[in-house]
């Protein structure tokens, strides 16, 4: 989803600008930086930073991810059951 890319960029920008030590620690360990940022967000590590703007962005990102997972699961269920598809 495009919203996920936008929010990921916002989190990276906030970490790099306002929390450079955390950003450096995340980016040094990461093979894929977006996966490391997503893990940071999903595990709610932003809460320890006491940054309300960052927490707002990460909360939106987690909510959007839950919606995306729900949509993918619904789509998979539709494929498996055949519901919603025309029969030839």
Tell me the pTM. 0.78
Q: What is the DSSP string of 8-22?
A: HHHHHHHHHHH-HHH
Cβ neighbors of 85 (< 8 A, separation 6 or more) are 78, 79
Per-residue model confidence as pLDDT tens digits over 2-28: 788 899 999 999 999 999 999 999 988
pLDDT tens readout for residues 52-82: 999 999 999 999 999 999 999 999 999 888 8
Cα–Cα dist 45/81, whole Å = 38
Between helix 33-42 and helix 20-29 the angle, nearest 10°, is: 120
Query: Is the distance from CB of 85 to CB of 78 less than 8 angstroms?
Result: yes
Q: For residue range 22-59, what is the model confidence (pLDDT) as tens digits?
A: 999 998 888 898 889 999 999 999 999 999 999 999 99
For the chain, what are the domain ranges?
Answer: 2-81
């Amino acid at each position: 989803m495009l919203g996920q890319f936008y929010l990921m960029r916002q989190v990276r920008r906030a970490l790099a600008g306002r929390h450079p030590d955390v950003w450096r620690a995340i980016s040094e360990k990461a093979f894929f930086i977006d996966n490391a940022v997503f893990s940071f967000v999903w595990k709610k590590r932003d809460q320890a930073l006491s940054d309300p703007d960052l927490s707002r962005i990460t909360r939106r990102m987690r909510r959007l991810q839950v919606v995306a997972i729900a949509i993918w699961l619904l789509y998979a269920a539709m494929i498996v059951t055949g519901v919603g598809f025309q029969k030839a």
